[in-house]
Amino acid sequence: MSDQHEGHYEAVIGLEVHVQLNTLTKLFAGDSAAFGSAPNTHVSAITLGHPGTLPRMNKEAIVHAIKMGLVCQSEIARYNYFARKNYFYPDLPKGYQISQHTTPICAGGIVRISTSSGVRDIKLTRIHLEEDAGKSMHDQSPELTYLDYNRAGVPLIEIVSEPDMHTAEEAAAYLTKIRQLVRWIGICDGNMEEGSLRCDANISVRPVGEKKLGTRVEVKNLNSIKHLRHAVELEIARLSALSDKGERIVQETRSYDAEREVTFSIRTKEDAEDYRYFPEPDLAPFQFSEEFIQQIKNQLPELPDAKQSRYTEAYSLSEYDAIQLTEDYELNELFEGLAAGTAHRKSLVNFLIGPIRSYLNSQNKPWSSLKISKSQWYGLLDLVAGGQISFSVAAQKLLPELLSNTEIDPVQLATSLNLLQDAGETEIEQWVNEVIMAMPDKVEAYRKGKKGLIGLFVGEVKRISKGKADPKRSTELLNKVLNEKQ
Ligand code: ADP
Ligand code: MG
């Protein structure tokens, strides 16, 4: 890593993130935009760019793009037009890509990230709409490149950040946040393996204190957050070492090889490639009214950051719990649905992000597959809150049954399994006395100040009571007896 350069250089990172919008159809054609179909089955004459065909704009894609802009507090352009970006590439059947040039649909804005150094707002340059290209496949034949045009014309937004990040951790947190947001507002599945979310990282280094940006390299097509983080780390180290040796850095495009743990140059890059942008003549410019934008604003759900503040303030949950609860939209819906009807929210969170999440992960099941009914949930939470059963026994013995049977009543189940900590006061007192008599050395040590021994006594009471003593009650009684004047 770059330890020997630490202190000399500051890294500067800007990310370009492509988000494939999950519309039913393509940006300018009625072909399905779905992923994973047989090659070249969503390829109308428009997608293939046949002469005489005309693009027609997909309103849903525009709504998706505006949603993202609103979420990032960008300025939404009221007047827009598409532009032709001309270049030749086999996966681009028209010989140009319809994109936006001087009028991105969203300008400016921020993405709020949180890292080990705290919370920061990363500035955005723009978010623009464009169509995706097709896919070249080089692994189907030893000599030939195969082409699949299903993806050609699928709507994308490209989110371009300012050169505003300085560590691999920030870059990873930024992409994580974008993935969370696009899923949250339902515009993209955020699946990086399938290419729904793709990232290019631009990295440069400069001496600490220098204001001018250094020459950047761009690492293309990072397809996981882990790869992004690693590629940025590698580039910071490599560029710092080059700068140490006084070597000139050339602006270039690089690729990341996860197996060999290196980045390598694929081409040098001049500043502005000549794409000969001009306004797309087959599509009229378009304008949004205030009402249209307001309507879209009204459709947006409460965002993760706002929910987190609500959970820590109104529900007194920890920041950690609040973050966990907003990681996944379905988990959050489940929590919200239950939290409104119980005061035992902390215990609910413990079940959800503890045993339930482990269970779903191990079964590879989504949150929506959970069948536990509301009354079962509330029964379970009341048992734990009332001290009739411990959290861990409930998680180990009751949950597995509740997960498979929506009819079972938790109280009946706990009774029939003989799990209730239902010993009365006198019984607990007897066990407490028994434990104290059996451990005179420990009792003396406790009375001399080793207060941590209380856990041992409580554990003993639990053991000899065969789980029938509520640990809260036995702790209280133990404390009382042990702290009595001799
Ligand atoms: P291009 O498509 O040519 O890569 P864009 O303007 O779309 O250009 O994206 C450039 C990206 O590179 C932005 O995210 C920007 O913040 C980032 N960037 C520009 N200059 C630097 C630099 N010197 N160091 C790091 N990142 C940079
Ligand atoms: Mg770029």
Atom number in ligand 1 closest to CA 202: 26
* Integer-rounded Cα radius of gyration of the chain: 30
- Name the band, by pLDDT with cuts 50, 70 and 90, for residue 5: low
Distance 178 CA to ligand 2 centre (A): 18
Write the single-letter amino acid at 468. K
Structure token pair of residue 293: 């934008």
In tens, the pLDDT along 327-355 reads 889 999 999 999 999 999 999 999 999 99
Distance 57 CA to ligand 1 centre (A): 29
- For the chain, give the mean pLDDT: 93
Distance 403 CA to ligand 2 centre (A): 48
In tens, the pLDDT along 301-325 reads 999 999 999 999 999 999 999 999 9
Atom number in ligand 1 closest to CA 162: 16
Pick the ligand that lies closest to the CA of residue 220.
2
Atom number in ligand 1 closest to CA 158: 7
DSSP conformation letters of 34-69: -SSPSTTSS--TTTTT-TT------HHHHHHHHHHH
Atom number in ligand 1 closest to CA 160: 14
Angle (deg, nearest 10), helices 168-184 and 225-244 = 150
Q: Which helix (H) or strand (E) holds 106?
A: strand 106-107
Distance 158 CA to ligand 2 centre (A): 10
Pick the ligand that lies closest to the CA of residue 128.
1
Q: Say if residue 261 is exposed, middle or buried (CB neighbours under 10 Å; 0-12, 13-18, 19+).
A: exposed
Structure token pair of residue 137: 């496949």
Distance 216 CA to ligand 1 centre (A): 8
In tens, the pLDDT along 91-122 reads 999 999 999 999 999 999 999 999 999 999 99
Kindly report the CATH number that applies to the domain delimited by 425-482: 1.10.10.410
Tell me the mean pLDDT in the region 132-153: 95
How far apart CA 330 and CA 336 sit, in angstroms, is 10
Share of the chain above pLDDT 70, in %: 97
In tens, the pLDDT along 264-298 reads 999 887 656 789 999 999 999 999 999 999 999 99
Cβ neighbours around 458 below 10 Å, total: 20
How far apart CA 369 and CA 117 sit, in angstroms, is 37
Which amino acid residue places its CA nearest to atom 2 of ligand 1? 16
Which amino acid residue places its CA nearest to atom 11 of ligand 1? 14
For 344, residues 6+ apart whose C-beta sits below 8 A from its C-beta are 381, 382, 384, 385
The domain locations on the chain are 9-290, 301-416, 425-482
Q: Of 123, 156, 160, which is best to mutate to test ligand 1, by the most ligand atoms within 8 angstroms of its C-beta?
A: 160
Lining ligand 1 with CB less than 6 A are 12-16, 160-163, 202-204, 213-214, 216, 218
Tell me the mean pLDDT in the region 23-38: 96
How far apart CA 349 and CA 13 sit, in angstroms, is 36
DSSP3 helix / strand / coil % (the chain, rounded to 5)? 40, 20, 40
Share of the chain above pLDDT 90, in %: 82
